[in-house]
């Protein structure tokens, strides 16, 4: 019984990930009706496992069951685009567009979080931010992309969670998921952009450590804005080379 339950969970996850990725990539278009009989045969799962998987996609705003019609694929505007799961799927195929959209959003949130963190963080929290920034600089020098990513995730998580705002703290999981999409890209390794980025993070950490709210806001904005510019440039290069 236990092994069967584990197997169902594995099949459930496989169906969720496969269908979610296919919807994101456009294999199923807005308005398409998912044929449960075909999907059940394709994945070799019971209807109950399939329905449970579709309930997960429904909770993410990607599909909706309609009476006498079936389960219909919803437009992107309905999706929970802050969900780490959807961020992961988009990162596999819609990487540059998602990064641009999310960085534009982060420009409006993280500088404010940095200002609040500079005001509200405890000494221990400030020191943790400083250590994370120093870890990014050290990882860059060591050409260690994985350690750099982990320090980057910790850095932004600390600031968003240290702002004294539960909504900003919740946004930290979205930012983490976004940063981790770099694991699927060549950018996961250290690049020419990394040294100046690491030092911008360090400048922001120094401002928070000093309790300088205006400098924290300014450095946070500069950090994200530079990354946005970088991604727009890279996206143009990718699109240009595809022409």
* Burial class of residue 20 (count of CB atoms within 10 Å of its CB; 0-12, 13-18, 19+): buried
pLDDT, position 4? 36
Strands 33-34 and 70-73: antiparallel
pLDDT, position 190? 83
pLDDT, position 114? 98
Residues 6+ apart with CB under 8 A from 144: 190
Would you put residue 44 in left (φ > 0), alpha (ψ -120 to 50) or beta? Answer: left
Specify whether the CB–CB gap between 43 and 15 falls below 8 A: yes
pLDDT, position 239? 54
Of 217, 48, 199, residue with least CA distance to 118: 217
pLDDT, position 6? 27
Specify whether the CB–CB gap between 61 and 78 falls below 8 A: yes
Which H or E run includes 70? strand 70-73
Question: pLDDT (tens digit, 0 to 9) for every residue of the chain, 243 residues total?
Answer: 333 332 345 778 889 999 999 999 999 999 999 999 999 999 999 999 999 999 999 999 999 999 888 999 999 999 999 999 999 999 998 888 999 999 999 999 999 999 999 999 999 999 999 999 999 999 999 999 999 999 999 999 999 999 999 999 999 999 999 999 987 665 567 888 899 999 999 999 999 999 999 999 999 999 999 999 988 887 776 554 333
């Amino acid at each position: 019984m236990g092994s069967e339950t584990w197997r169902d969970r594995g099949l459930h996850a496989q169906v969720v990930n496969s269908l979610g990725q296919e919807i994101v990539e456009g294999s199923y278009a807005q308005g398409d009706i998912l044929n449960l009989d075909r999907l059940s045969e394709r994945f070799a799962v019971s209807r109950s496992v399939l329905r449970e998987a579709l309930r997960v996609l429904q909770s993410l705003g990607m599909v909706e069951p309609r009476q006498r019609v079936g389960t219909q694929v919803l437009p992107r505007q309905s999706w929970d685009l802050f969900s780490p799961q959807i961020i992961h799927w988009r990162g596999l195929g819609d990487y540059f567009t998602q990064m641009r959209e999310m960085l534009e959003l982060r420009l409006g949130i993280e500088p404010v979080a940095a200002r609040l963190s500079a005001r509200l963080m405890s000494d221990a929290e400030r020191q943790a931010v400083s250590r994370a920034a120093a870890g990014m600089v050290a990882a860059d020098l060591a050409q260690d992309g994985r350690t750099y990513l982990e320090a980057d995730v910790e850095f932004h998580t600390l600031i968003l969670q240290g702002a004294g705002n539960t909504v900003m703290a919740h946004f930290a999981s979205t930012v983490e998921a976004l940063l981790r999409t770099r694991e699927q890209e060549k950018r996961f390794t250290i690049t020419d952009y990394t040294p100046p980025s690491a030092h911008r993070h360090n400048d922001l950490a120094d401002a928070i450590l000093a309790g300088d709210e205006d400098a924290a806001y300014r450095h946070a904005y500069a950090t994200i804005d530079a990354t946005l510019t970088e991604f727009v440039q890279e996206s143009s290069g990718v699109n240009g080379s595809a022409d």
